[in-house]
Amino acid sequence: MLFKKYWIHGLWLLSLPAYWWAGMSPDTYANAALHVYPAYPVRGVLTFIAITTVELLVLYAIIRPATYSRSWKRAAAGLLLFFPWLVVCAVLLMHQPPYVFLHFVWLLLFNVILGVICLYSLVAGLTRHSAG
């Protein structure tokens, strides 16, 4: 029951050390092409933590985990919102620092999670409806 209610919070908590680590990773484009060796990108990392926080708050408002109850339409609504956002982020990915790439991987992860939840909820709803 705790997992059902707090999985989005857990995803957010996992994102914090991941963004910290991505900020520590060298920006290979800046190093190789621009011959610049930037310091730790505090502003960029904090910006993407804020973006991820807003994304997860929107996801929380759509999914509403406490009252979810196999509502595949909520997961589908999340996919309809976040899949185009994933495509936009993928288009803008070239020559970006590692924390931007991590954000793309992050969006890909919760698009996959939303897809799995949507399919599971749809199948569970159909089997429950046909059995009852």
Residue extents of the structural domains in the chain: 2-131
Q: Which own/partner contact pairs does 75-81 have at CB distance under 8 Å and 24+ positions apart?
A: 75/114, 75/115, 75/117, 75/118, 75/121, 76/118, 78/114, 79/111, 79/114, 79/115, 79/118
Number of Cβ atoms within 10 Å of the Cβ of 74: 21
d(CA 114, CA 63): 9
> What pLDDT score was predicted for residue 103?
95
Tens place of pLDDT for every residue, the chain, 132 residues?
556 677 888 888 999 999 999 999 888 787 788 777 878 899 999 999 999 999 999 999 998 887 777 788 898 999 999 999 999 999 999 989 999 999 999 999 989 999 998 999 889 888 876 765
Distance in angstroms (rounded) separating the CA atoms of residues 80 and 56: 15
Q: Would you state the pLDDT for residue 2?
A: 58
Among 82, 18, 14, smallest CA distance to 45 is for 18
| pLDDT for position 72 | 86
Q: What pLDDT shows up at residue 46?
A: 95
pLDDT of residue 92: 93
The reported pLDDT for the residue numbered 19 is 94
